[in-house]
Amino acid sequence: MNAYVEKVIEEVKEKYRDQKEFVQTVEEVLSSVSCVLDRHPEYEEAGILERMVEPERMFSFRVVWTDDAGRPHTNVGYRCQFNGAIGPYKGGLRFQKNVNESIMKFLAFEQTYKNALTGLPIGGGKGGSDFDPAGKSEGEIMRFCQSYMTALYRYIGPDQDVPAGDIGVSGKEIGYLFGQYRRLRGDYQNGVLTGKGLSYGGSLIRPEATGYGAIYYLNEVLKDHNDTLQGKKIGVSGYGNVAWGIIKKAAELGAKVTYMSGPDGYIHDEEGIVTAEKIDFITKMRRDDPLHCKPYAERFGCAFVANEKFWGVKDVDIYMPAAIQNDVTLKEAEKILASGVKYYIEVANMPTTNEALQLLRNSDIIVAPSKAVNAGGVGVSALEMSQNSQRLSWSEEEVDELLKLMMKNIYKDSKKAAQEYGLGYDLVAGANIAGFKKVAQAMYEQGIF
């Protein structure tokens, strides 16, 4: 490995040893771009890597809200504005019990390179809170969002930082957040958030974009291997917003999701989750209770296996981890290898531990990295920003066409970047290299700060 890259990784490991997820993503990205640093000694002279691993700005704030009985509760809110070299900070908000500084930094770091890959002018950021939306009433969620925005509104804006959704933040929360922003600012700037409702500046296809984009990317991989989506069986972990888009688009294009999992275990639907009735049921199930997918098995009379993950089953063609970080560890990766499945397409942010990813990449399995596969979500967010600034809205067909093209280009650029550096067909390294090069060059040209 390039000595400069090695040095910076060691420094991060030492300095941020308590931030496990952040160290993990830094190691993964920087080790992939070692070859770029070999060719660009000027980046070392300009200290690009040391600057890249430190957020431009990160802050936390107190968020106080009252429950339905009038009792006050205190949570911590975060926003990490990691890198603004190529555009305003852009990235979602995650509301989940386990959110902490390390998780915010890992997500914002990943986001930086993912956003660069979209080819659109968006920098990397992420935010959230350790607020747990599970079991909260509508009123409680609204008051939490209002309080969160009251703390954040001075530091975001259409040209500054543009939050969106992530786990625990969907269109409903974005609505409350936007309402409060408008109320505090006293003017109408809907470009400050993306993932908005269609009635106040949201984009068609945005709710589906991450999942649709993942299937479009998968389609590019398959085409390149003289293969097709037709008749393919897919195992998807998770049943949130992203999995929903995957399930819908897969069904539309002749494939079917036959395994799906939640925190309580997994379901196996041999016939596939292909009908509108099944897909709508999942949406409702998630809204009512984000912690259990068992009701699906009860409703449609299929198998449910409690407290297990399905990694290792042989009767699928494609695995798509679409739930949460570090879903697949070495133990699961070994099962995946033994299953003989041909494609491992990451969707959730960093769903694979570094050692598990290494094992899969060294095998015959075709591995695609989430920062490329899931980039369609934030890509369509950038299209939403364009529509807002032009004060118009594009049709479903227009947005879908742009999304398809974006995914095609991300695949092509990643593949080409790996080839350019003599790495062969390596979509993981290629995505890191393509994203990194764009950000590094922008930082280099803008001078030292």
Active-site residue set: 126
Among candidate residues 398, 408, 420, 419, the one with its CA nearest the CA of residue 375:
408
Chain position carrying tokens 């771009």: 33
Closer Cβ to ligand GLU, 156 or 273, answer by number: 156
Closer Cβ to ligand GLU, 106 or 310, answer by number: 106
d(CA 441, CA 449): 14
Among candidate residues 115, 131, 123, the one with its CA nearest the CA of residue 156:
123
Residues 6+ apart with CB under 8 A from 303: 267, 268, 297
Shortest Å distance, C-beta 46 to ligand GLU: 28
Shortest Å distance, C-beta 384 to ligand GLU: 8
Taking residues 336 to 355 in sequence order and writing x for each that binds ligand GLU by CB under 6 A, - otherwise, the string is -------------x------
How much is the CA Rg of the chain, to the nearest whole Å?
A: 21
Shortest Å distance, C-beta 169 to ligand GLU: 8
Count of chain residues binding ligand GLU (CB under 6 A)? 10
Asked if 377 touches ligand GLU (CB under 6 A), the answer is yes
Asked if 325 touches ligand GLU (CB under 6 A), the answer is no
> Which of 194, 258, 325, 352 contacts ligand GLU by CB under 6 A?
194
Q: Reduced to 3 DSSP states, what percent helix, strand and coil does the chain have, rounded to the nearest 5? A: 50, 15, 30
- Render 130-186 in DSSP notation, one character per residue: S---TT--HHHHHHHHHHHHHHHGGG-BTTTEEEEEBTTB-HHHHHHHHHHHHHHH-
Contact 332, 307 (CB under 8 A): no
Sole window of 31-39, 84-92, 243-251, 420-428 interacting with ligand GLU (rule: CB under 6 A): 84-92
Asked if 118 touches ligand GLU (CB under 6 A), the answer is no
Asked if 33 touches ligand GLU (CB under 6 A), the answer is no
Sole window of 87-95, 132-140, 224-232, 288-296 interacting with ligand GLU (rule: CB under 6 A): 87-95
Lateral strand order in the sheet of 89-95 = 57-66, 72-83, 123-129, 89-95, 161-165
Contact 65, 144 (CB under 8 A): yes
Asked if 164 touches ligand GLU (CB under 6 A), the answer is yes
Asked if 127 touches ligand GLU (CB under 6 A), the answer is no
Closer Cβ to ligand GLU, 5 or 192, answer by number: 192
d(CA 201, CA 199): 6
> Which of 328, 378, 427, 429 contacts ligand GLU by CB under 6 A?
378
Asked if 241 touches ligand GLU (CB under 6 A), the answer is no
Shortest Å distance, C-beta 381 to ligand GLU: 3
d(CA 124, CA 113): 7
> Which of 21, 28, 161, 166 contacts ligand GLU by CB under 6 A?
166
Asked if 435 touches ligand GLU (CB under 6 A), the answer is no
Shortest Å distance, C-beta 107 to ligand GLU: 7
Among candidate residues 352, 386, 392, 388, the one with its CA nearest the CA of residue 369:
352
d(CA 341, CA 316): 7
Q: Which residues in this chain contact ligand GLU in the complex, by CB under 6 A?
A: 90-92, 164, 166, 194, 349, 377-378, 381
